[in-house]
Amino acid sequence: MVKEFMEKVIQKNPGEIEFHQAVREVVESLESYLKNNPEYMEKKILQRIVEPERVIIFRVPWIDDQGEICVNRGFRIEMSSAIGPYKGGLRFHPTVNLGILKFLAFEQVFKNSLTGLPMGGGKGGSDFDPKGKSDNEVMRFCQSFMTELSRHIGPDTDVPAGDIGVGGREIGYMFGQYKRLRNEFTGVLTGKGLGWGGSLIRPEATGYGAVFLACEMLKTRNESIKGKVCTVSGSGNVAQYTIKKLLQLGAKPVTLSDSNGFIHDPAGIDEKKLQFVLELKNIKRGRIKEYADKFNCEYYEGKRPWGIKCDMAFPSATQNEINKQDAETLVKNGCICITEGANMPSTPEAIEVFISGKILYGPGKAANAGGVATSGLEMSQNSLRLSWTREEVEKRLHDIMINIHETCAKYGKEPDGFINYVNGANIGGFVKVADAMIDQGLV
Ligand code: NDP
Ligand code: 2IT
């Protein structure tokens, strides 16, 4: 079944390799579940779920500081509205293309379902590279991007948020432009500033949520996170707040990376050093190498941190950043738990190494769902026109991550007791969306 199905997906979506990869993983997980539940096959749910409800591709012209006209490409993939408005981030990165955004939108559908909140799945972005651009350039780009995107989104239609290259600054510029165009102050984006509709804990949510899920996974083996040496990749939003929560819970993070290389700080990245990283990355927009210069530790140019001995790993940069060899090295060095802050950071061959090694492996759609879950909480607060306290939001986030763990265990537990979180997340995320599609007729 998987083979024939994938042949058609590949033929219909040529060249979209990341999308093929994401679909194959889900279809492989679902194979035996679908055999036991033939209604999903009869209703052609798989064939329908891999076809976006709508894809929008548009021109984004803007003017740089030298007065030159620049043109980028903008996208929004509206993948599924079965259980709520399209919801998912925007990525600004030069590698962005249709296949990458379709893989991200596809993953988002299952992830959002797992949160238990009423959110469909979408993703968007642009091949715009914010690196080295002035604030004014970023603002002009965001305004032009939103001028077109505003026609397609709305608080009950499609609610974008951040992803790689899109943080509080970009959300602010896009929100401002949407408001001018529509003359409406609504929750059309999440990740907003705290003074104008944003939710407490949204900036922290993805990293915090990943650590919460890791703790649940550890509990199944009677292990605690205290004292665990952790490797973390990336140094952006997800990596920063993964480290913050690891420190709160007494773990020892020792690495950070960016697209140029990684730093290894065997003494541990403490609260003070983390503050330096926040300032370096979010305000000065510098490179992670500066950490090594400042704190006198090792910097590895052009390398990823997976060769460093650790108890737990938190890939939090980008897709396919752990290959088979990296996975083998991690397992050989005694790593017992991989928690994916990033989307699809492990290749299929790497996942196979983790699963066959019976490692605690939390795939992105379960492990990083805390970000979008807290976006869902931001939407609720916007609808209610009030804001919850930090404690209230963090408690809800924590409960959601515990529930996600339970869902994964319910659908992913194997006869020997091993929890296959990949199968658990894929089946658990699928069922609610598929049932909604059946209820709603041929949509
Ligand atoms: P940021 O833009 O804040 O940070 C991204 C980090 O990853 C940077 O350190 C960046 O390095 C590095 N990176 C990006 N692309 C590459 C690449 N091709 N190779 C090596 N390093 C790279 O993004 P986020 O922290 O928000 O996102 C990180 C991951 O988490 C992504 O996979 C995203 O999809 C996922 N995610 C994010 C959520 C969120 O709420 N923000 C929610 C759920 C998942 P550099 O600065 O050199 O580019
Ligand atoms: O991949 C993701 O889940 C995100 N980038 C966050 C999406 C959101 O709508 O908060």
CATH number of the domain enclosing 44: 1.10.285.10
Q: 324 pLDDT band (50/70/90 cuts)?
A: very high
CB of 365 within 6 A of ligand 2: the answer is no
Q: Which atom of ligand 1 is nearest to the CA of 319?
A: 32
Sign of the Cα torsion 130, 132, 135, 141 reads negative
pLDDT, residue 289, reads 98
Domain count, the chain: 3
Of all residues in the chain, what percent carry a pLDDT higher than 90? 100
- In the three-class reduction of DSSP (H, G, I as helix; E, B as strand; rest coil), residue 39 is classed as helix
Expressed in angstroms and rounded, the spacing between residue 287 Cα and the centre of ligand 1 is 14
pLDDT tens digits, one per residue of 177-230: 999 999 999 999 999 999 999 999 999 999 999 999 999 999 999 999 999 999
Residues 113 and 37 in one domain: no
Expressed in angstroms and rounded, the spacing between residue 254 Cα and the centre of ligand 2 is 26
- Alpha carbon nearest to ligand 1 atom 22, residue: 259
Out of 189, 241, 258, 321, give the residue to mutate to test ligand 1, the one with the largest number of ligand atoms within 8 Å of its CB: 258
pLDDT tens digits, one per residue of 106-139: 999 999 999 999 999 999 999 999 999 999 999 9
* Domain harbouring 62, CATH code: 3.40.50.10860
Which ligand has the minimum distance to the alpha carbon of residue 131?
A: 1
pLDDT tens digits, one per residue of 74-98: 999 999 999 999 999 999 999 999 9
Out of 103, 238, 316, give the residue to mutate to test ligand 1, the one with the largest number of ligand atoms within 8 Å of its CB: 238
Active site residue ranges: 123
On whether residue 394 sits in a domain, the answer given is no
CB of 88 within 6 A of ligand 2: the answer is yes
On whether residue 26 sits in a domain, the answer given is yes
pLDDT tens digits, one per residue of 230-264: 999 999 999 999 999 999 999 999 999 999 999 99
pLDDT, residue 261, reads 98
Using the structure block, give the residue that is written with the tokens 């959002």.
112
Average per-residue pLDDT for the chain: 98
pLDDT, residue 241, reads 98
pLDDT, residue 37, reads 97
Residues 39 and 62 in one domain: no
Residues 175 and 238 in one domain: no
Out of 77, 78, 101, 163, give the residue to mutate to test ligand 2, the one with the largest number of ligand atoms within 8 Å of its CB: 163
pLDDT, residue 217, reads 98
pLDDT tens digits, one per residue of 263-318: 999 999 999 999 999 999 999 999 999 999 999 999 999 999 999 999 999 999 99
pLDDT, residue 148, reads 98
pLDDT, residue 24, reads 98
Residues 174 and 219 in one domain: no
pLDDT, residue 235, reads 98
Residues 111 and 167 in one domain: yes
Which ligand has the minimum distance to the alpha carbon of residue 106?
A: 2
Which ligand has the minimum distance to the alpha carbon of residue 278?
A: 1
Which ligand has the minimum distance to the alpha carbon of residue 237?
A: 1
Domain limits for position 226: 205-367
On whether residue 402 sits in a domain, the answer given is no
Q: Per residue in 279-293, is it b (16+ CB within 10 Å) or e — as a string?
A: ebbeeeeebbbbbbe
pLDDT, residue 3, reads 97
Q: What is the average pLDDT across 376-385?
A: 98
CB of 89 within 6 A of ligand 2: the answer is yes
Q: 364 pLDDT band (50/70/90 cuts)?
A: very high
On whether residue 80 sits in a domain, the answer given is yes
pLDDT, residue 396, reads 98
Residues 231 and 359 in one domain: yes
Residues 56 and 171 in one domain: yes
User: Which residues approach ligand 1 with their CB closer than 6 A?
Assistant: 162-165, 167, 206, 234-238, 258-260, 316-318, 341-343, 368, 371
CB of 87 within 6 A of ligand 2: the answer is yes
Distance CA 160, CA 139 (A): 17
Q: Per residue in 138-152, is it b (16+ CB within 10 Å) or e — as a string?
A: bbbbbbbbbbebbeb
Find out whether 105 and 76 touch, Cβ atoms under 8 Å: no
Residues 437 and 296 in one domain: no
Q: 51 pLDDT band (50/70/90 cuts)?
A: very high
* Domain harbouring 243, CATH code: 3.40.50.720
Please report, in angstroms and rounded to a whole number, the separation of the first and last CA atoms in the chain.
23
Distance CA 84, CA 119 (A): 4
Expressed in angstroms and rounded, the spacing between residue 371 Cα and the centre of ligand 2 is 6
On whether residue 132 sits in a domain, the answer given is yes
Strands 229-232 and 312-314: parallel
Residues 5 and 103 in one domain: no
Q: Which atom of ligand 1 is nearest to the CA of 364?
A: 44
Find out whether 269 and 253 touch, Cβ atoms under 8 Å: yes
Residues 40 and 56 in one domain: no
Phi-psi region of 52 (alpha: psi -120 to 50; beta: other; left: phi over 0): beta
Expressed in angstroms and rounded, the spacing between residue 57 Cα and the centre of ligand 2 is 20
